[in-house]
Amino acid sequence: MQGPLETAGASPLVSWTRVVGETEEPGLMGRDAIGQIMFAGDGHMCFNAMRRNRPPFSSPEFQAGTPEEKVAAYDSYVGYCGRYDINEQERSVIFRLELSSYPNLSGTAQKRFVEIAGNRLKISTPPVLVRGKQMVNTVVWERAK
């Protein structure tokens, strides 16, 4: 499993869904999210996703958005990077996050399950309890050729 991850290059997002209880719904960034994931041979990775067509700030100055624009920008983007370790027996990967747009993830280890079929890379979270229901996020990437 390590070889295909390392040679994946920059892989664009195909879909992001989550199953809450028995219901499948769009993932955190909506139905038409866009993003990329990259795995480097030296064990580093980077993940970025956002809602399509995020509105720009009214000011061209970096960080000069209104409080409302900044909230909308934060709510429409997620990204993290760090190192990764593969467990081929479990078909899982641990992301050891060094940086994250969501501060609570920085410095944590996040387990994900991996499936590779053809040129598709499917990454799923373990089930977590949210609002009293089990939730699993699944992100599908089109691997670089």
Domain count, the chain: 1
| Long-range Cβ pairs for the range 95-102 (8 Å, 24+) | 95/45, 95/47, 101/74, 101/77, 102/78
Task: Name the pLDDT band for 3 (thresholds 50, 70, 90).
Answer: low
pTM exceeds cut of 0.85: yes
What CATH number corresponds to the domain at position 23? 2.40.128
Residue whose structure tokens are 């309890």: 129
Please write the tens of the pLDDT for every residue from 75-118. 999 999 999 999 999 999 999 999 999 999 999 999 999 999 99
Q: CB-based contacts of 131: which residues, under 8 Å, 6+ apart?
A: 20
Residues spanned by the domain of 100: 2-142
